[in-house]
Amino acid sequence: DTEVTQTPKHLVMGMTNKKSLKCEQHMGHRAMYWYKQKAKKPPELMFVYSYEKLSINESVPSRFSPECPNSSLLNLHLHALQPEDSALYLCASSQELVSEAFFGQGTRLTVV
């Protein structure tokens, strides 16, 4: 099983809403990532969990809050987002060091 599952696939939320994105993998990978991708642009790293320890991209606003309940699950909590936060949010996982990352299908987020 080389699958990373993200839910929901699409999400529309108002600027005052609170929502969460979910990501799950059962490949035993110990590194998990959140990326944000704007149209026709490369993915930009938001957060990395390595052995359930968080590394933060300090440019990410605090309205994005990650959570790693266990080694298979990764959440991204969203609160008070702005329209410019609308993007494709990608979750990925990998083994340590030299291995490739496997990506989920993404959540298409629209903030209205």
Positions touching another protein (CB under 8 A) are 4, 6, 31, 33, 40-43, 45, 48, 50, 53, 55-57, 88, 90, 92, 94, 96-98, 100-106, 108
Please, what is the minimum distance in Å from the beta carbon of residue 100 to another protein?
5
Choice between 22 and 80, CB closer to another protein: 22
Least Å distance, CB 45 to another protein, is 5
Q: What is the DSSP letter of 53?
A: E
Q: How far apart are CA 79 and CA 32, in angstroms?
A: 21
Contact (Cβ atoms closer than 8 angstroms) between residue 84 and residue 104: no
Structure-token pair, residue 85:
């936060």
Closest alpha carbon to 48 in 37, 59, 61, 57: 57
Closer to another protein by Cβ: residue 18 or 26: 26
The least CB distance from residue 16 to another protein, in Å, is 27
